[in-house]
Chain A
Amino acid sequence: MSTVNEKIASHRNSWRFGDFGGRFVPETTMNALIDLEAGFTGAMSDPSFKEELSHWLKNYSGRPTALTFAKRLTEYAGGAKIYLKREDLNHTGAHKINNALGQALLAKRMGKTKLIAETGAGQHGVATATVAALFGLDCEIFMGEEDVKRQQLNVFRMELLGARVVPVKSGTRTLKDATNEALRRWVAEIDHTFYLIGSAVGPHPYPLMVKEFQRVISEEAREQILKRENRLPTDVVACVGGGSNAIGVFAAFLEDREVRLHGVEAAGRGLSTGLHAASLSKGEPGVLHGMYSYFLQDKHGQVTPAHSISAGLDYPGVGPEHAYLHETGRVRYTAVTDQEAIEAVKLLCQTEGILPALESAHAIWEGVQLARQRESQDLVLINLSGRGDKDVETIHKALG
């Protein structure tokens, strides 16, 4: 692994988390990123921007989301008390809307008239189409041709919201290639178009920006659990694809050194099968989508396809801050299989009456294992990043 031993980072440390991150994009994109960074920094130091964002989070998405004590799941695990941060209760059914609202407001503030986005299963596409409709912006969503076929209903949802869905026919015809195509389109229309990236990935400042817009998850959760239990959680657990819900639920706890943080990647059919999406567990450092991070790739540096039953985790890379937190050891990263995730869906449905998204089910599984190992006075906080209505067909097939 020559990449690990060779310092590829240049002097711009503000673009990075340790060595990871950066701005590995064609020159044509550089000034747009510089403008975006300036726009973002300006917005975040402007109280009126934060006020407007809070307004929409509260009155449109329904924040703060609940913190639910999972009593019967706790009894089932027989260890620590399990709490669920209910991002599934957001408008559009997942945490994605937090970031979509933030970036769309920034796009408006920067005078952009059109949003573009990549989507895998369609969740981020739906969130983007939603905020585009809300703020009266044009919207174009890039989606791999394979995903378009698999997710007809979400395609229809996006179109119903007024977005144009562009099937991407290059490469593996999935999320990775949809991201490439969105980057290409952005470069071509850079004057009036805002690229709304859905995960904590991409060139600087995207990973930082997505983290700041998702930070609300852990800010609320930290306050809620302190109020309820008068202490911090022992463990915080989240699933990791690109890693936006995870970085959101970790952010406010990063400085609380006693809080153990766990990121759960998709082990797909199993880490030894090669059919997984565990870039931190099984990948290597490399450069894709504008960032230096961990990716699934072959020995020549060609990016290889990911596999997960959960479309939202089906991405061959991970956000650069997770790569950094992995290397520093601040966060423990592990992986959960398709089969275990399906079990966790059933378990949460039957103990708590909550149908989790397949992505979130990975975190549920790991959270239950952790709770088992902990004492009864310990607290395990699981980020329930989305609801599972979108996955009913997949779950049905897997159990059928």
Chain B
Amino acid sequence: MNRLEGALERKAEYLIPYIMCGDPDLEMTREIIRILAEEGVLAIELGVPFSDPVADGPVIQAAGERALKNRVTLNQVLELGKKVREDGIDVPLILFSYANPVFHFGMERLVHEAVAHGFDGIIVPDLPYEESVPLRRRGSEAGLSVISLVAPTSRERIKDIVSSAQGFVYCVSSLGTTGMRREFSEQTETFLDTVRMLSPVPTAIGFGISGREHVEHFLDHADAVVVGSALVQKIEKLLPYLADPAQRENALAQLRQFVRGLKSE
């Protein structure tokens, strides 16, 4: 049982933040991870920038472009995992990367290196159920949970997907890309309840979750909630302050407040 599976079993936390590694730089990402861990989260998704992020909306696309300008690589993100563990942070880490950097690195090599660098899971958004067979096999051999996604359009595919799920099942709230949404259709709840009923592992909802209201609402229908674009946008707004040594502390404090604000206490 890796850290992620342990944390899911304890059910102590429910928030899964997503951040883009290297936005604004890897040292700051390390700092942000510390804050997230201190505030209490179920796991952290660490985004690897990619030139063609088809599943992402404008906010995460822009963050990825900034990280690519900083020449952030999959290798460096793995190194970051190691540093986080050296910092004594025990929160489960989930690598979030598109398929091409993973294949280029080598799947076999990646699953082992990821585990060795302190990662517990991996999400590859452009590897659907059928195409993720080789990665899932290697993941379970290495002890890295390969997280599967299900969508409202998955229909009869849901059963197959959840039956082989590792860690948790990531439910995509609605159609389209990642990014904040003001409202969700009523069918979202039905969809979440269906997945939860069928799934042998816990469920998480993501795509569009932007505030405490959403988080509270969806915790009635899922075990965890992923917040990506809203957090990445908050970081984007704080970029000038994070870059200024005189204002950095204050900016990080604001970020901490934002994360606190997402949690329903």
Q: A6-B107, A32-B153, A184-B54 are in contact. Are A26 and B128 (CB under 8 A)?
A: yes
Quick check: is A376 within 8 A (CB to CB) of the other chain? no
CA of A171 to CA of B155, assembled, Å: 33
Q: A10 is contacted by which of B99, B133, B151 (Cβ under 8 Å)?
A: B133
Interface segment among A150-158, A294-302, A318-326, A335-343: the answer is A294-302
- Most A CB atoms within 10 A — which of B53, B68, B126? B126
Decide yes or no whether B65 CB sits under 8 A from chain A.
yes
* CB of B74 within 8 Å of the partner chain: yes
Question: Complex formed: what's the CA distance from A12 to B127 in Å?
Answer: 13
Q: Which residues of B from 95 to 120 have beta carbons under 8 Å from A?
A: 98-109
- Identify 19 residue pairs between A and B in the complex whose beta-carbon atoms are under 8 Å apart, listed by A's number: A3-B104, A10-B131, A24-B128, A24-B131, A25-B54, A26-B55, A26-B128, A27-B161, A27-B172, A28-B55, A28-B151, A31-B157, A171-B61, A184-B177, A188-B175, A286-B100, A288-B52, A300-B75, A303-B100
- B180 shortest CB reach to chain A, Å: 14
Q: Evaluate contact between A302 and B150: CB separation under 8 angstroms.
A: no
Contacting pair B153 A287 (CB below 8 A) = no
A367 to chain B, nearest CB (A): 34
Q: Give A170 to B133 CA distance when docked, in angstroms.
A: 31
List residues of chain A with CB under 8 Å of any chain B CB. Answer: 2-3, 6-12, 15, 22-28, 30-32, 170-171, 176-177, 180, 183-184, 187-190, 284-290, 295, 297, 299-304
- A30–B126 CB distance below 8 A: no
Asked whether A27 and B52 contact (CB < 8 A) given A184-B177, A287-B100, A297-B104, the answer is no
| B109 contacts across to A, CB distance below 8 A | 2
Inter-chain contacts of A285 with B (CB < 8 A) = 103
Is the CB–CB distance between B157 and A11 below 8 Å?
no
Contact residues in A for B54 (Cβ distance below 8 Å)? 25-26, 180, 183-184, 289
CA distance A289 to B55 in the complex (A): 11
A183: nearest chain-B partner, CB-CB: B54
Known contacts A8-B134, A26-B172; 8 further A-B pairs (Cβ under 8 A)? A2-B105, A12-B130, A30-B128, A31-B155, A171-B52, A184-B176, A286-B104, A301-B74
Q: Which 8 residue pairs across A and B have the least CB separation, nearest first?
A: A301-B104, A2-B106, A188-B176, A301-B101, A10-B133, A28-B151, A301-B100, A287-B99
Interface string of B196-217 (1 = CB under 8 A from A): 0000000000000000000000
Q: Contact check, B153 vs A2: say whether CB atoms are below 8 A apart.
A: no
Closest residue of A by beta carbon distance from B176? A188
Within the complex, what minimum Cβ distance (angstroms) separates A318 from chain B?
15
Query: Are A10 and B103 neighbours in the complex by a CB distance under 8 Å?
Result: no
Give Cα A284 to B61, complex, Å: 24
Instruction: Please state if B68 and A26 are interface contacts (CB–CB under 8 Å).
Output: no
Check B51–A30 contact: CB distance below 8 A: no
Count of chain A to chain B residue pairs whose CB atoms are closer than 8 Å in the complex: 142
Kindly identify which residue among A15, A27, A28, A286 contacts B129, using a CB–CB cutoff of 8 Å.
A27
When chains A and B are docked, how far (Å) is the Cα of A295 from the Cα of B98?
15
- Chain A residues whose C-beta falls within 8 Å of the C-beta of B133 in the assembled complex: 10-11
Contact for B51 among A26, A290, A302, CB less than 8 A: A302
The CA-CA distance from A25 to B52 in the complex, in Å, is: 12
Q: Which residues of A contact B40 (CB under 8 A)?
A: none
Q: CB < 8 Å: which of A26, A289, A295 contacts B125?
A: A26
- Asked whether any CB of chain A lies closer than 8 Å to the CB of B149, the reply is yes
Q: Do A28 and B172 have beta carbons less than 8 Å apart?
A: yes
Once the chains are docked, how many angstroms separate the CA of A289 from the CA of B98? 11
In the complex, the answer to whether A25 meets B106 with C-beta atoms within 8 Å is no
For residue A183, which residues in chain B have a CB less than 8 angstroms away from its CB?
Answer: 54
Whether B175 and A26, one on each chain, are in contact in the complex, defined by CB atoms closer than 8 angstroms, is no
Separation of A138 and B127 alpha carbons in the complex (Å):
31
Nearest chain A CB to B236's CB is how many angstroms away?
Answer: 15
Nearest CB on B from A83, distance (A): 39
From A31, which residue of chain B is reached at the shortest CB distance? B153
Residues 55-112 of B contacting A (Cβ, < 8 Å) = 55, 57-58, 61, 65, 68, 73-75, 98-109
- In the complex, A15 Cα to B131 Cα: how many Å? 10
Cα distance, A138 to B53, chains bound together (Å)? 27
Known contacts A22-B131, A23-B130, A31-B154; decide if A187 and B176 are in contact (CB<8 Å): yes
- Identity of the chain B residue whose Cβ is nearest the Cβ of A28 in the assembled complex: B151
Q: Which single residue of chain B is at the shortest CB-CB distance from A184?
A: B177
User: Is B50 on the interface with A (CB-CB < 8 A)?
Assistant: yes
The answer to whether B108 touches A6 (Cβ under 8 A) is: yes
**Is B154 a contact partner of A23 (Cβ separation < 8 A)?**
no
B155 neighbours in A (Cβ, 8 Å)? 31
